[in-house]
């Protein structure tokens, strides 16, 4: 499970790689892990139409701050939201449309792109967990497919949150090395740069499944995290 990643540095990469303005100062830390603030990119046209508007606004990407770890809309309280969100940082793409936790966001096309420089996985081949940094070989940012959600409590509390989508990596030349021995290997659904707009604007949830592919192993590099 990929539960930690690096946000973009320097800030100009948000505009250069994703065509969005960077977040405000100190909006997101260098490292993002469950229940910590992060940012994601969504399509403003996918938002609900305000009462009185005849049609959605123009297609535009929007950078949004939110909690890493999805909070489903059916959660009863803020305390319950905190407990559940730490376990809902990753969503299996194969079952997102049927999972009680992620179905609403998937069917409502609440898709997003999570920008990151790298993510961490544990390498157990030595017999102990060795945190490993995985990034693009060319050093450019990655755009990972995700889902976002907005939870509103009975007292008016609001939590905007997001998760990362994953695909099977059992036969992936690089990612099969990581995570617990004997478990199914998973990897983040890293999008090709040319597919960012199509992923956000896919007209039907089933069409979005076409983007759930393993990223090329030759385009990724892995190195133990220096302490």
- 125 inside domain: no
For residue range 74-131, what is the model confidence (pLDDT) as tens digits? 999 999 998 999 999 999 999 999 999 999 999 999 999 999 999 999 999 999 999 9
pLDDT > 80? residue 227: no
CA distances to 61, 80, 216, 223 from 135, rounded to whole Å, are 24, 34, 12, 9
Domain that holds residue 23: 5-117+135-167+180-214
In a domain, 128, yes or no: no
Does some domain include residue 197?
Answer: yes
What's the rounded Cα separation, in Å, for the pair 219 and 69?
27
Q: At 113, which CATH number?
A: 3.90.1680.10
- The angle subtended at Cα 109 by Cα 106 and Cα 110, nearest 5°, is 85
Total domain count, the chain: 1
Alpha-carbon distance 112 to 199, whole Å? 8
Q: Is 50 exceeded by the pLDDT of residue 54? A: no
Q: Which of 36, 31, 32, 28 is nearest to 11 (CA)?
A: 28
Mean pLDDT, the chain, integer: 92
Instruction: Report if residue 173 sits inside a domain.
Output: no
In a domain, 161, yes or no: yes
Q: Is residue 226 part of a domain?
A: no
In a domain, 175, yes or no: no
Domain assignment present for 67: yes
């Amino acid at each position: 499970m990929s539960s930690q990643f690096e946000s973009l540095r320097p800030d100009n990469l948000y505009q250069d790689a994703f065509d969005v303005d960077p977040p405000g100062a100190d909006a997101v830390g260098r490292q993002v892990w469950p229940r910590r603030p992060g940012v994601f990119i969504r399509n403003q046209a996918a938002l609900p139409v305000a009462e009185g508007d005849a049609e959605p606004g123009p297609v535009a990407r929007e950078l949004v701050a939110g909690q890493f770890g999805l909070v489903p809309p059916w959660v009863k309280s803020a305390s319950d939201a905190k407990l559940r969100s730490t376990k809902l940082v990753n969503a299996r793409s194969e079952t997102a449309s049927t999972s009680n936790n992620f179905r609403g966001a998937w069917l409502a096309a609440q898709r997003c792109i999570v920008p990151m420089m790298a993510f961490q996985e544990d390498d157990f081949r030595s017999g102990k967990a060795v945190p490993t940094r995985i990034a693009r070989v060319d050093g450019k940012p990655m755009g990972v497919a995700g889902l976002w959600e907005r939870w509103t409590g009975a007292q008016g509390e609001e939590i905007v949150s997001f998760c990362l989508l994953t695909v099977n990596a059992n036969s992936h030349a690089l990612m099969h090395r990581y995570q617990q021995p004997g478990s199914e290997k998973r990897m983040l659904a890293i999008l090709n740069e040319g597919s960012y707009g199509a992923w956000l604007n896919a007209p039907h949830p089933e069409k979005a499944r076409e983007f759930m592919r393993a990223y090329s192993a030759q385009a990724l590099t892995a190195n133990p995290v220096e302490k």
